[in-house]
Amino acid sequence: MLVTSYELLRDAQKNHYAVGAFNVENMEMAIAVLNAAEETKSPVIMQTTPGTIRYAGADMYFANIRAAAQRTSLPVVCHLDHGDSFAAAVHAFRVGYTSIMIDGSKLPFNENIALTKSVADVCHAGNVPVEAELGRVGGKEDDLDNRGTDNPYTDPKEAEEFVARTGCDSLAVGIGTAHGVYKGIPHLNFDVLRKIHELVSIPLVLHGTSGVPDEQVTEAMKLGICKVNYATDLRIAFTRGVKEYMKEKPEGFDPKKYGAYGMKEVKAYVAQKMQMLKG
């Protein structure tokens, strides 16, 4: 069933687990994520970035996720990941997305507050929750490029003020993760996260989690992380499956055949993460 992320994340916060948020790039990935949720009996957030939406349209991705949600009694959220403008956020809201992220993290502090509040005011009128970001998650993924960020960490006192002034429902924080493929093993700054958790009462979100060791994710969950995003690893898994099929059958041409291989890899990856996120 299609739901908003509000009750989902509040329940995760209350019961000390996290909800997996998985970027879906096509119908096959949406089906694979749904199958993993069914297998593990897990709530799930399926999300798309503005770059993905530009590829095929928000209505197309919403239709895929809504269809997936109608196939299950489990809670499914359709989330806009890293909404990059007021217009993009409101467009996804009008299409039917049940959770919206507005990412003003590249803006000066007060401008980020103004943008986030403007999106929250619109979405809250339709009972749709809003995720915001303060601090920077580094790296590059899709059209998002935060390479060269000087300070990747969220300031805890600024986070407290930001939440109070914007009315956002969840907050993505910078604690040392990065989008894309890591060149080494990431090390999250739990001291920063602990201070944010002490000052901020709303659910916290971890971005750039592909490649982060599971034990670091579970530690972050103890310090207020209620939503964990995975994107790059799903792309890698799907592509690995397609390559495997084409290696076995280089003359193959049926998208359903190699798509099934990609789905199998994505499902296995997502199911493992869902089990881990149960805490």
- Residues annotated as catalytic are 81
- Cα separation, 1 vs 20, in Å, equals 16
Tokens at residue 191, please? 């001291």
Task: Give the Å distances, CA to CA, from 171 to 182, 197, 227.
Answer: 23, 11, 10
Residues 6+ apart with CB under 8 A from 252: 245, 246, 258
Helix axis angle, 255-277 to 232-248, nearest 10°: 140
DSSP 203: P
> Among 191, 201, 187, 101, which residue's Cα sits nearest to residue 155?
191
